[in-house]
Amino acid sequence: MEIENMNLGSLENATPRELADAIVKILDAKKARDIRLLKFKEGNDLTDYFVLCTGTATTQIKGYAGELEYRLGEAGVKPFHVDGYETGMWIAMDYAHVIVHIFHKNERDFYKLEKLWNDAEEIPLELEA
């Protein structure tokens, strides 16, 4: 789906999974690389889901974050906090039940969050080719 034609509707009362799916959809439409969705066990104090993706340039990474904030804002959802936008190497966006990590490839390879949080379940995604 082309990002310009994307209509998410209202996400104000979305479940954490619905919000995570919308985030994945937006990032996929923007051609983010290596998108992963991790679900944490019930009772985890951190969050319910992580969405991780990779970009190859700081302008691209900032573009992913900007598009995500814009599209979700249109759907009634704003992040509680955004960190890392200034450098564009690793942008973390806190949507309470879903935390988005947009990495530069070098940062993702170095920090390896998937391995750090290996107790989280990776949810299979059906992304557009």
The CATH number linked to 21 is: 3.30.460.10
- Helices 16-29, 58-74: crossing angle, 10 deg rounding: 130
65-85: per-residue pLDDT in tens?
A: 999 999 999 999 999 999 999
pLDDT for 115: 84
How far is it, in rounded angstroms, from Cα 108 to Cα 104?
Answer: 6
Please indicate, yes or no, whether the overall pTM of this predicted structure exceeds 0.85: yes
* Domain assignment of residue 101, yes or no: yes
pLDDT for 4: 61
* Domain assignment of residue 10, yes or no: no
* Domain assignment of residue 28, yes or no: yes
How far is it, in rounded angstroms, from Cα 103 to Cα 89?
Answer: 6
Going by pLDDT thresholds of 50, 70 and 90, the confidence category of residue 114 is confident
* Domain assignment of residue 5, yes or no: no
Measuring CA to CA, which residue among 57, 63, 113 is closest to residue 89? 57
Number of domains observed in the structure of the chain: 1
How far is residue 8 from each of residues 18, 19, 25, 34, 93, measured CA to CA in Å? Answer: 10, 10, 9, 22, 19
Going by pLDDT thresholds of 50, 70 and 90, the confidence category of residue 41 is confident
* Domain assignment of residue 23, yes or no: yes
Domain of residue 91 covers: 15-122
* Domain assignment of residue 1, yes or no: no
* Domain assignment of residue 45, yes or no: yes
* Domain assignment of residue 26, yes or no: yes
How far is it, in rounded angstroms, from Cα 56 to Cα 47?
Answer: 27
Which whole number is the average pLDDT over 109-125? 89
Measuring CA to CA, which residue among 36, 22, 37, 92 is closest to residue 61? 92
